Structure 1
Amino acid sequence: MFFRQLFDKESSTLTYVIADLKSSEAAIIDPVKSEIETYITLLAEYGLSLKFSLETHVHADHITASGLLRQRLNCQTGVSQACDAKLADIQIRECDKFRLGDNEAITAIATPGHTAGSMSFIWRDKLFTGDSLLINGCGRTDFQGGDAGTLYDSITQKLFSLPDETLVYPGHDYKGFRVSSILQEKQLNPRLSTNSREEFITMMNNLDLPKPRLIDIAVPANRYCGIDEDDAIQASDVNLSINTGRLLTSNQLVAQIKTEISEITPSDVESMLNQDDVILIDIREPNEYEESAIPNAHFLPRGVLEFKILELEKVLNPQNKIILYCRSGNRSALAAASLTKMGFRNVLSMSGGYEAWKESNPAL
């Protein structure tokens, strides 16, 4: 067997490489985009073939290297099915196994709470906890569908039920720690060892932490495995699996999604701008929005759309129309499908996106 822990200083992210030396098949957990050459060099040095690039969650503090590793090394990317990362090859579920040769298997453990889609992975006596359980701490719970009570349950009922000698390898550390154990975290973790569930919830809900610096960039990018969203959607040479089990190119995936949602033309949007029953939402990135935008549009970047849309009071009326737009109409189509899945009944995607809007409004 082969095991290596790597550290990215910029984001304090811990990345893990696991391999079966007999078959030379390897997996990487939580790779960072800026460190991709380090990973490729390491794999080449030991003659390893990367089979899986796995994510513990959709990260808010760095951009993943999974998409680029897939492009360069032909590995499969895996993200929790609860993360809405439609372009990942594998939608990970509880107890899924990732086999390396005949001798090694990594098993997924659903540990929501830090985010709705947080996963941990266990391999032999090593537990990779992402941001769910940290050494002497735990991940925050105030964004991306996080919930303090859910995190407490994930840690105390799932992770703390593992053998005491299980080694804990977190997704981050900011104090120079690299490994702990289940017993150590049970006894010494200040957030968990002495607090009841109710006390833990109160503490987590009152942390008042600053917004992650890269969240508006990292979250949407990581939903597309770290590749620019429009580029990922248009990259027709990448095969992607979805819940149907069929292999689709990304163009085919978007085309399929567009058959399942309703689209509206820019000219129709323009005629509806002043209607009280219309909520227009710009889901582009901040730099795109700051250049120019459609008048009266609410701004909710794709990375936070699902988590902040209920802040718009008008969406609570099911009769109102929610119109989404991005740059080209691809991101908004996928976002419309996501909101529909959440239960919103009247969601539209503006075809052609803001580029089409500008063409129909040359004065902009």
Structure 2
Amino acid sequence: MAEQTFQFGDYELRQVVTAPPYYENCYVVHHRPTASTMIVDPGASPREILAAADRMGGTVTAILLTHGHPDHVAGLQQVADSTKAPVYAHRNEQVILDAAAEWGMALLRTALTVPPVTYFADQAVLDLAGGVTVVATPGHTPGGVCYSFPGFALTGDTLFDHGFGRTDFPGGDPAHLRASITAFLDAVAPEDQLFSGHGGPWAAAVARVWWHNGGAAMLG
């Protein structure tokens, strides 16, 4: 399991690469002024995720989901049970999370369970750790979102380094994903760093150039 740490003003961001076969990126975000820690997309390796959060200090006050696919929520139940922190996701993702057992069996051969989830609506600002801006980005899944912080954003499987999430699973829609990525990249600050659900980070300015010069065409 690999782990990297990044600093953005009042925020410390830790990237935890979880176990194979998916090597999903879980992110632990610590807000120094409030001593609040958030865990984003706890996939496999829940013990390692919890250890990373413990090393950052503070209290885990929330668990955020960019979407509900099994590689992003395989460790959710254990992390939620251990931290007692509330879980947040977009309301349109409930259809995916309600079928977690079936998704788990299909992709991980494990019937996953999901704790209670607090669902929010489009363009919400979550009153957590200095404020978390939510950008609804449906397309990979119906309720996929990106989380934006000062200096960086967590894009889940909406947007990778020179790539994007697949749209052929149930609930995927290439036209929606194309519109979502276009709106997100047009709104995000060019100097922001983008951290995705798989792979390494890249600059928003680079992502914008790639998207408007051929990336978008890959979605038709």
| Superposition TM-score, scaled by structure 1 size | 0.49
Aligned mate of 2:156, from 115, 121, 130: 130
- Aligned equivalent of 1:80: 90
Match of 1:114 among 118, 140, 146: 140
1:58 and 2:68 correspond: yes
Report if aligned partners of 1:78, 1:88 keep a CA contact under 8 Å in 2. Answer: no
Cα offset for 1:98?
A: 3.0
Aligned partners of 1:79 and 1:88 also within 8 Å: no
Q: 1:21 to 1:116 in 2, by over 3 A?
A: same
Alignment of 1:310-325 (within 5 A): none
User: Is the contact between residue 54 and residue 66 of structure 1 (CA under 8 Å) also seen in structure 2?
Assistant: no
CA distance in 1, matches of 2:134, 2:72: 22
Q: Could you state the TM-score of these two structures normalised by the residue count of structure 2? A: 0.78
Q: CA deviation at 1:150?
A: 0.7
- One-letter amino acid of the structure 1 residue matched with residue 185 of structure 2: L
**Contact 1:115-1:146 at 8 Å conserved across structures:** yes
Q: Deviations over 1:86-111 (max 9, x none)?
A: 6533103223233345xx22111100
SS at match of 1:184: helix
State the 1:77 CA deviation. Answer: 0.6
1:124–1:188 Cα change, 3 Å: same
Q: Deviations over 1:293-342 (max 9, x none)?
A: xxxxxxxxxxxxxxxxxxxxxxxxxxxxxxxxxxxxxxxxxxxxxxxxxx
**For structure 1, which runs of at least 5 residues remain unmatched after alignment?**
203-364
Q: Find the residue that maps to 2:171 and give its secondary structure.
A: coil
The root-mean-square deviation of aligned C-alpha atoms, in Å, is: 2.1
One-letter identity of the residue aligned with 1:179 = P
Q: How does 1:80-99 map to 2 (within 5 A)?
A: 80-84=90-94, 85=97, 88-99=116-127
- The counterpart of 1:22, out of the listed 4, 15, 33, is 33
1:148 aligns with 2:170: no
Higher strand proportion (structure 1 or 2): 2
In the superposition, relative to structure 1, how do residues 60 and 20 fare at CA in structure 2: closer, same or farther (>3 Å)?
A: closer
Aligned identity (percent) is 23
Q: 2:213 is paired with a residue of what secondary structure?
A: coil
3-state DSSP class of the match of 1:22? helix
| SS state at 1:129 partner | strand
Q: Is the 8 A contact 2:25 2:197 kept in 1?
A: yes
Of 176, 193, 199 in structure 1, the residue corresponding to residue 213 of structure 2 is: 193
Q: Is the contact between residue 30 and residue 58 of structure 2 (CA under 8 Å) also seen in structure 1?
A: yes
Q: Judge conservation of contact 1:20–1:100 (CA < 8 Å) in 2.
A: no
Deviation at 1:62, TM superposition (A): 5.4
Larger radius of gyration: 1
**Aligned ranges 1:182-261 → 2 under 5 Å:** 182-188=204-210, 193-194=213-214, 199-202=217-220
| Offset, 1:50 | 0.7
Query: Which residue pairs with 2:12 in the alignment?
Result: 2
Q: What is the aligned length?
A: 191
Give structure 2 stretches of 5+ with no counterpart: 1-10, 99-114
CA distance in 2, matches of 1:144, 1:88: 23
